[in-house]
Amino acid sequence: MARPAPVAIIMGSQSDWATMQGAADVLDRLEVATDVRIVSAHRTPQRLFDFATGAADAGFKVVIAGAGGAAHLPGMVASLTHLPVLGVPVQSRALSGQDSLLSIVQMPAGIPVGTLAIGEAGAVNAGLLAAAILATHDEGLAERLKAYRAAQTAKVADRPS
Ligand code: RP5
């Protein structure tokens, strides 16, 4: 039987996918399987509850949660599972993601959410951070992550052209 994906990528809306694809793509490049789902804190609260309470038993090791606006998804998931939750503030139309960022980052002591940058950079870095967490127990993944970083370094020219 196939092993379950270690990383769940969840988002509040279909409209978040363009951003959250950055996390999926970098994890795919690092050969880390993902399970991508739409889970809305406000529109599908029962789905959120069922996902978060079952996430550890489903075999997930890390949850990446992206949402915009009144972005309660990462914090609510973190309140319902002991798994590490990485929050990605999606850039909102009204407030350019400042609302998303503040909603996700200001968690009360006791329920952490590892909050990344607003938008695509945050999504990519959430993927890389999830890989780094998994790599503490996976030497092959650690090597792939080091190679990814080395390739990134090699692409930086000494001087601007
Ligand atoms: C949030 O509201 C979602 O995470 C999304 O970023 C934002 C807007 O959602 P849509 O109105 O585009 O579905 O729940």
Query: Could you give all domains of the chain from N- to C-terminal order, each with its CATH number?
Result: 7-154 (3.40.50.1970)
12 lines ligand 1 (CB under 6 A): yes
2-29 pLDDT, tens digit per residue, is 778 999 999 999 999 999 999 999 999 9
CA distance 84 to 2: 23
**CA–CA dist 108, 105 (Å, integer):** 9
pLDDT score for 3: 78
**1, pLDDT greater than 80:** no
Calculate how far, in angstroms, residue 160's C-alpha sits from the geometric centre of ligand 1.
39
Ligand 1 centroid from CA 45, angstroms:
14
- Cβ–Cβ < 8 Å for 27, 127: yes
Give 70-126 pLDDT, tens digit per residue: 999 999 999 999 999 999 999 999 999 999 999 999 999 999 999 999 999 999 999
Answer yes or no: pTM beyond 0.95: yes
Identify which of 10, 11, 15, 120 to mutate to test ligand 1's pocket (most ligand atoms within 8 A of the CB): 15
